[in-house]
Amino acid sequence: MVELTLDRIVNLAGDWTDGSRASEQFREIIEDEQTTTEEIEAYLQEAINGSEPYHNKALQNLVNNFGRRLGFEIEYGVYQGRSDTIGYDGHWISTATDDDTHLVVETKTNTAYSIDPGQAGEYMAQFVDEHEVNREQVYGLYVIGEGDVETVSQTVLGSQYRDRMRVITAQRLLDLLEIQEDSGLRHDQVVDVLLPINAVDVGQLVGLIQDVIEFREDDTEGGGSTGGSRVTGDGWDGPQIGADAVQGTISREELEGPDEATVAVFPSQTSGVEFLKENNAWGFVRINQEPEYVAMYISDDVQEVRYVARVREIVSATEAQLARTLESYIGDQAEFDEGKKVVLFEPGSLYELADPIEYESRVPYSLRYTELGRFKQAETTDDIL
């Protein structure tokens, strides 16, 4: 749960202005890898429902944080316009395309007042001139807290910016982030959703994706792998407290399989490595694919993809035989959700990477998928996320 509400941050840190202690403290909180999507959502609801000026500023920060978590490199905008800088609320950069794609982001708490696309359009033009980039690389994105998005979409469609500007609600943007966490969407796929051809209200596309996912889950409910059987061998005697399933080190080039084989990349705190080692598995997660490999990004002071294992099967948490009880992991480690799944590894396949993939600018805040070929060739996390 969020312990520091927006109101409390202001009470403790003072006025919320550009460069203020309140602003910087809030950004530190939401940028922390351990701040969950559920906590971010609580802040979002507080920002949308609030009526103070700092609620609008918090929404601006949250929207930019959504961009960071979706894999963009982000630049926070200014709260108050100045003559020495472009007045946009945020600038997102995607390197997933041949030429970098730039999103000039504007946030609006509601649609009580009419929105003029020309404002964001002017920011886009200034950006093109100042940075000498091709106009075709720059898009505008309006993110609305609440209100009549359809009217905003129609206004954009009737303007000269209809091909270069997109509209989405903050909640739909958060939905897209949760879809990415559930399904492991790659960053380039996120860009394709936000910048489709002949669509302005991209929130409708996010809703469609949600419906498809929910239909697929309902259709397959009760199916999937069954497990819990104990498989031993290859130096692994099964789950036990204090065990270490890591077989040694391996280079990425030694990993076997076709280049298109799927690698699921999970984040973990350093405390989660204990679970990894004593169970030869990873849990508790939402996962809708059956990847050939699992790779582990370790956060905290490590900040690199450090472990890899071949997947044997995926089972529900209640079916998995683990070294400890579910309650002990939930209470002592990271408050895992026992309703999720456990990914069991092939015995003897868990290794520490001799050539770990170091963090550059993109962090896997949740499950991400990549291909084995990309995984082998990656120099930094940016190459696989």
Picking from 338, 341, 319, 321, the residue whose alpha carbon sits closest to that of residue 241 is: 321
| Residue 30 included in any domain | yes
Among 154, 179, 206, residue at a domain's last position: 206
Q: What gap in Å lies between CA 183 and CA 213, rounded to an integer?
A: 9
257 and 185 share a domain?
Answer: no
- Is the same domain home to 184 and 316? no
Q: What CATH number corresponds to the domain at position 48? A: 3.40.91.30
Torsion 43-44-50-54 (CA) sign: positive
Looking at the structure, do residues 258 and 113 belong to the same domain, yes or no? Answer: no
Determine the pLDDT at residue 188: 83
Look up the domain containing 367 and give its range. 249-383
Domain presence at residue 193: yes
Provide the percentage of residues in the chain whose pLDDT is more than 90. 52
Domain harbouring 276, CATH code: 3.10.590
pTM of this structure: 0.67
- Asked if pLDDT for residue 215 goes beyond 80, the answer is no
Per-residue pLDDT of 299-356, as tens digits, reads 888 999 999 999 999 998 888 888 887 667 654 444 556 567 899 999 999 999 999 9
Is 156 within the bounds of a domain?
yes
CA–CA separation, 263 and 247 (whole Å): 19
Where does a domain end: 175, 206, 237? 206
Using alpha carbons, list the distances in angstroms from residue 229 to 211, 218, 232, 290, 318.
Answer: 34, 26, 10, 18, 12
Looking at the structure, tell me whether residues 316 and 193 fall in a common domain: no
The mean pLDDT value of the chain amounts to: 85
Q: What is the DSSP string of 226-287?
A: -------BTTB--S-TT------EE-GGG--S-TT-EEEEEEE-GGGHHHHHHHTEEEEE--
Provide mean pLDDT across the span 206-218: 62
Same domain, 59 and 123: yes
| 285 belongs to a structural domain | yes
Q: Tokens for 349, please give them.
A: 């396949």
One domain, residues 144 and 42 = yes
Question: What does the buried/exposed string (b/e) look like for 287-296 if buried means 16 or more CB atoms within 10 Å of the residue's CB?
Answer: beeebbbbbb
Mark which of 154, 181, 206 sits at the end of a domain. 206
**343, β-bridge pairs:** 282, 314
Q: Are residues 59 and 131 in the same domain?
A: yes
Residue 211 in any domain: the answer is no
68-82, 200-214, 259-273: lowest mean pLDDT where? 200-214
Q: Do the Cβ atoms of 140 and 106 come closer than 8 Å?
A: yes
In a domain, 303, yes or no: yes
Output the pLDDT for position 96.
Answer: 81
Give the residue-averaged pLDDT of 181-191: 80
Instruction: Let me know whether 283 and 189 are in one domain.
Output: no
145 and 260 assigned to the same domain: no
Together in a domain, 61 and 153? yes
* pLDDT number for residue 231: 35
Same domain, 143 and 50: yes
- Do 202 and 71 share a structural domain? yes
Does residue 357 fall inside a structural domain?
yes
Q: Which of 323, 347, 205, 341 lies closest to 282 in space, CA to CA?
A: 341
Number of independent structural domains in the chain: 2
**Domain assignment of residue 147, yes or no:** yes
